[in-house]
Structure 1
Amino acid sequence: MVLVSGLRKNVGDTTFYMHSYATTEYTWANIAGKKDLGFNIFQMFLQQLSDDPQVLIFVVSLITNVLVFINLYKYSKLFEISIYVYITSGMFLTSMNGVRQFLAAAIIFAATKYIFNGDWKRYMLVVILAAQVHQSALILIPIYFIVRRKAWSWSTTALLSLAILIVIGFNQFSSVLFSVLDSSQYGEYKNFSEGGANILRVVVNGIPILLAYLGRHKLRSLFPKSDYIVNMCLLGFVFMIISTQNWIFARFIFYFGLYIPLLMSWIVHLFVKRERKLIYYSILFFYFIYYFYENVISLMMNYQSDYIKF
């Protein structure tokens, strides 16, 4: 998977990063005062090893996916299901689109243990580090205190209600939000007009949460810290609902979507033993159908590489 991701030459903004790396000389003088300083420093040191932009893509893919795999391995009930859902839910492809932001998401995902342990100081340090790669990571600072609650409490109802209200009054909400962001690097998003996210993505993100709700008592007994995972997934679902009005809000799913593969690995064991095999293979089947529709039919993805040929 690292080879497939790291040896690509297209998908999303990959070509932009490759072009920028090949045509820009990253020095202390050039990067001083620029946004996302950490990623520029990373590129500066990488250029000392090679000017080949494929090296940038490969190293970022290596770091991103290894961080994701390690965390899935540590907390999954069924590791193979987590990896499968990571691919077929579209998160693996997403890691190739939005290179910096997904790297930041992977760094923060690796700090999940600090959420579980309630170690907010170390978690904040990791978030600040990730913010040097992509500034949007700072949203995880207040998120920490939101997810450190019992799932399905009043806060859950409040979050979902807020999402629905934002959708209903989206024009007013977006006007206020983008006026606040106008002077930042994200102010340009106010002119973003590529429509909303596919409603099917909202449904696919919502089903694991619905199953977790139906089996919430058993899930909590199997995995006492599952509340934090469920809350992360709920926040991702909220952003997906809002993104039906403007696709750019789906970008925040980078930080929450990685918890869906974790949650799905525990869903199988919420069912009685005689039904688990059916649920297991149902996950394989339906996620495959979704992945095929989303990437082959809808997005018509065409993977290109100078090294991997089919």
Structure 2
Amino acid sequence: MIVLLILLSAVLLAFLLRKSDKIVQLIPFIILFLFSVFRYQYGNDYLSYNQAYLKINSGYESFFSKEILFTTLNKISPNFRFFLILTSLIFVGVLTYFLMKNLDDDKRWMGILILVINPYLFLINLSAIRQGLAIAVFVIAAYFLWKRKIIWYALCIIIASLFHKSAIILLPIYFIVNDKKNSVLPMVMIIMLIVSLLWSGFDELLIKITSLFDDTNYNYYVSQGMSNSIRATLLSSLYLIYTFMNLKKLEGKELAFGKLYLIGCIFSVLAFRLSMFTRIQMYFDIFSIVALPAIFSKVQAEGNVVLDASRPVATLWNIVNKYAMPILLALVYFLRFYSFMSNPLWSSFTTYNLPFM
């Protein structure tokens, strides 16, 4: 499969070039950028965005008129190919900086692997251009969140909402995520997760919230009550458990990014109640490309597990945490990528087309 070969080539090069100069280490990201730029009729939303571009530039009052920055990018682009180049530069450029800045050279290949093997991080965001741009701005906002610069954070979120209006829900995140080591926030979020899953009035609350966005797609998902399967929820809970149990090992900005990813894990489990939560999850899942390699490195740096007969449960967890969980999580990623590519719903992602062929 050509798509898989291209994506994994970026991972392989990131691994092989991990000891090279910084400029050379950009080659894997250049591959991802070229993959983004030269795609043609690739992804479920390609044609709809192409039509939106034509309508916006013909003066048609489109559905995206409230998302001013997205509309502006369309208007300043002389053609749709230039629009793809511009949006790809923003999305891939921000992720390149994020990984180069926050992962050491020998860990960066793991971040790229997570980025490309989780189809909802790279492939889907290439297709869902508006939310992909909003996610890129949120990644920038996370820096100001960590630095506790509320005005700059709020400004970034407002900018993100002008690409995709759903981003406005990210404003309160500033008050619940920081780089302080404490057990209160994770426990509160876990309790909220359980209450949300059990509360019978949860669906009615969601309908009221989504109505504020005046988004027919969101309202449709809520009204239909579509939810994730038990199997998908159990697999997602593995990432929640791994992140939650190891969050205390992180420090500084890594801890802040880990907390953001933990929120994404919680939304992935909440999708058992309503699959629309995966759209919110996308904003937070992007931080897995830094959080998971950081956690893995911290766990592996602890050395060999010491067998302690007086603490059998703790010893068993240490063995599972150090050896079994990383293998299991990697396996789930690959199985989900295979499932994604095998699903007829995502068939437009299986064949990579070039505009000149």
- TM bin, normalised by shorter chain, reads 0.7 to 0.9
Q: Work out the CA distance in 2 between the residues paired with 1:75 and 1:299.
A: 35
Over 3 Å counting, the alpha-carbon distance change for 1:248 and 1:26 in structure 2 is farther
Match of 2:99 in 1: 72
Percent identity for Structure 1 against Structure 2:
18
Out of 281-290 and 95-104, give the one that drifted further. Answer: 281-290
Aligned pairs, number: 301
Match of 2:261 in 1: 233
Over 3 Å counting, the alpha-carbon distance change for 1:183 and 1:274 in structure 2 is closer
Q: Work out the CA distance in 1 between the residues paired with 2:178 and 2:347.
A: 38
What are the ranges of 5 or more consecutive residues in structure 1 without an aligned counterpart? none
Match of 2:150 in 1: 120
Q: How does 1:37-116 map to 2 (within 5 A)?
A: 37-46=68-77, 49-50=78-79, 53-77=80-104, 78-90=107-119, 91-116=121-146
Q: How does 1:1-310 map to 2 (within 5 A)?
A: 1-6=32-37, 7-25=39-57, 27=59, 30=61, 34-46=65-77, 49-50=78-79, 53-77=80-104, 78-90=107-119, 91-148=121-178, 150=180, 153-169=183-199, 172-182=201-211, 184-186=213-215, 188-192=217-221, 193=224, 195-217=226-248, 219-220=249-250, 223-269=251-297, 270-271=299-300, 272-273=302-303, 286-296=332-342, 301-303=347-349, 304-307=351-354
For 1:239-273, what per-residue CA distance to the aligned partner results, in whole angstroms no more than 9, with x for missing partners? Answer: 11222222212101121001111111112321245
Q: Work out the CA distance in 2 between the residues paired with 1:263 and 1:162.
A: 22
| Relative contact order, higher structure (CA 8 A, sep 6+) | 1
Code of the residue aligned with 1:288 in structure 2: it is: F
SS for the counterpart of 1:95 is helix
Over 3 Å counting, the alpha-carbon distance change for 1:31 and 1:71 in structure 2 is same
Q: Work out the CA distance in 2 between the residues paired with 1:266 and 1:140.
A: 24
SS for the counterpart of 1:195 is coil
CA contact (8 A) 1:239 1:250 kept: yes
SS for the counterpart of 2:65 is coil
For 1:44-91, what per-residue CA distance to the aligned partner results, in whole angstroms no more than 9, with x for missing partners? Answer: 111xx22xx333233212211111121122112411100100111221
How far apart are 1:95 and its partner, in Å? 0.9
Q: Work out the CA distance in 2 between the residues paired with 1:88 and 1:98.
A: 17
Code of the residue aligned with 2:131 in structure 1: it is: Q
How far apart are 1:279 and its partner, in Å? 8.1
For 1:262-288, what per-residue CA distance to the aligned partner results, in whole angstroms no more than 9, with x for missing partners? Answer: 111112321245698998777655532
What are the ranges of 5 or more consecutive residues in structure 2 without an aligned counterpart? 1-31, 306-321
Give the TM-score normalised by structure 1.
0.83
Code of the residue aligned with 2:228 in structure 1: it is: A
How far apart are 1:232 and its partner, in Å? 0.7
For 1:129-179, what per-residue CA distance to the aligned partner results, in whole angstroms no more than 9, with x for missing partners? Answer: 111111111111101111126455223222122122222235x22222323
Code of the residue aligned with 1:45 in structure 2: it is: I
Match of 2:17 in 1: none
Over 3 Å counting, the alpha-carbon distance change for 1:147 and 1:298 in structure 2 is farther
